[in-house]
Every structure is written in structure tokens, then in C-alpha cells.
Amino acid sequence: MIETLVSVGLPADEEFTIKKNSLKGMGCDDGKRIAIVTGIHGDELEGQYVCYEMVRQITANMSNLRGTVDIYPSINPLGMESVSRAVPMSGLDMNRVFPGSEEGAIAENVAAKLVADIKGADICVDIHASNIFIREIPQVRIPSSDSSHLLKYAKLLNTDFVWVHDSNAVGEGSLAYALRQEGVPTLVIEMGVGQRITKAYCRQLLTGIFNLMSHLGIWGVPEQKITHPMVSTDGAVNVIHSVESGIFIPMVEHNMWVQKGAVIGEIVTPITGTVEEEVTAPADGLIFSLREYPIVYEGSVIARILSMN
């Protein structure tokens, strides 16, 4: 059932509307509930395909549904329409305003109503993509403070990697942080690249979400064979920054194993035809983040490598 969570009038007879699709199994009023959220950042589109496929597959197999699946596909619709990461009218990053306030501006109002609506769920999956600059392999990010509790769920999501990482995506001001304060375990997904849909990654995560639902008793299908993710903390991650400015030309593939000293890529200057910097791997490991947008400046992130040393 499609419900309106927020509806706010805008200038020129327009309307800001946030909707959810609540799918409930027959006779499952007391069953468990999972919330799937995406679209907090308007330039992150990977979750749109995940939501589409979830609704399509669940509605085609309603006899398997043993609980409630609440799907919130577009929390920042104005950002999506304008290809903007933030809320266009205010410039606010919505993932910095939670838990919000119903008396606040639009972003704070949406944040407060979203938290109130999800409150009481057994688990939430908050789906993000990277920005336009970096491509990420499918991964779950969880904070170190709750890692022992969240790790058992994170391992069920069929991602390549679980990063115990106190990033902005899980820190104070984020949806994940606000929901954890309300007792809702929340798993943050990062995958793909901004403004694009990587269907292979989306399908991989879909398998994981249905697997998690099976584990929780929400989906009446046996748990599936899934990828067992690598689990790491910040201490095993090497971040490579550019020293020079120019055009980054990669010499490796994303999600590729490299050895220490291997050439990751070159930073070149087109007008002089010169190589300004040869970027090399500082350790053996897996490239789980790789520069997608080729223009770089001093200090730009080129890659992240999960070290296996």
C-alpha cells in the first residue's frame, strides 16, 4: 500500500511529497518489519533499482511474505530532480540533519517524520551510492561502537566487504545514528558511483536483502548461498591521494587485487604530454574504491586499498 509520509506545499503550486510502499503479508500484523531507505542524497541512484526490484518481486510472490517491508525510495526527490546531492532549496545534506524536528525547515521536518515512521522496525537498510568521483564495491559500513551487534546482520547482505568505519554515513546527524538511538539496528550500504545505476551491484544486494529477510522470518524462502564478506577496520585500509593535479588514467580495474608497488595509474597533463605522477599501491590488497572522475587536484582521493598484510 502506497502511503504519503510528508506533503509540503511549494511555490508555483508545486508540492514536495515523500511516499512509502508498505508491503504486508496476509495475517502478519504481528510479524517482523524491515525498512528499506534510499534517495537521501539526490545524486545516488543505485537504490532506485533495488526498490523497483524489491516491490516487483515481493508483489509477484506475496505468499512468501511473512511480515512487513516498508520501502522509502526517494527521501530527497527535489535533489533527484535537480541532480543535486543536497536539498536544493537549503543546500542541506539530509544525512546531517537527523533526527530532525517537525517544527523545522523541510529537511528537518522530513527527517523527523521518517525516523518516527521507521521507529519500531526490527531492522533498517539505508542504501547509498558513492559520489560521481569514486566507484565503490558493494559494502556495508557500520560504526565501531555497535559493530558486535550489527556484524551478524551485515554478513547476511551478500556484499563483498564490511567496513567497521566511523564515517559521516553512520555518525551523529545521519539516519543510521538516529535510528540506532531509537533501538533500530541500521546497516548502511555504499556501492557503485553517483548518478548511475550498476545493475550487477543492485542484484547482488537484492539477493542479500532477501536473505536477511529470510533470516528474520519476514520472507518465507530458505536463506540463500551468499558471498562471505571480508571484514575490516580502518587500520587495514590504505587511502591513496594524488600528489599532483591533472588527468588520472587508471592502469588497474576496480575490485582488483594488487601487490605493493603495482602501478594504480598515472596523472598526466594533456597540453604537455607528460606524466606528472605514477600512482602506486602502498601495500598488497584489494582496490575497493577507485577514482571514476578523471580530473584530479592535489589531495584528491585516487583509491582505497584493503590491505591483507
pLDDT in tens, 266-303: 999 999 999 999 999 999 999 999 999 999 999 999 99
Give the span between the Cα atoms of 25 and 302, in whole angstroms: 46
Give the span between the Cα atoms of 99 and 275, in whole angstroms: 48
Which one is predicted more confidently, 148 or 15?
A: 148
Percent of the chain with pLDDT over 70: 97
Which residues in the chain belong to E strands, given as ranges?
2-10, 14-24, 33-38, 68-72, 123-129, 134-142, 161-164, 186-192, 230-233, 237-241, 246-250, 257-258, 263-269, 274-280, 285-291, 295-296, 301-307
Give the span between the Cα atoms of 189 and 156, in whole angstroms: 12
Confidence of residue 264 (pLDDT cuts 50, 70, 90): very high
pTM of the full predicted structure? 0.94
Which residues in 39-98 belong to E strands, given as ranges?
68-72
Residues 66/101, Cβ–Cβ less than 8 Å: no
How many Cβ atoms sit within 10 Å of the Cβ of residue 117?
Answer: 18
pLDDT at 11: 66
Instruction: Compute and round to an integer the Cα radius of gyration of the chain.
Output: 20
Residues 266/105, Cβ–Cβ less than 8 Å: no
pLDDT tens-digit readout, 65-114: 999 999 999 999 988 988 888 888 778 899 999 999 988 888 898 999 99
Residues 305/288, Cβ–Cβ less than 8 Å: yes
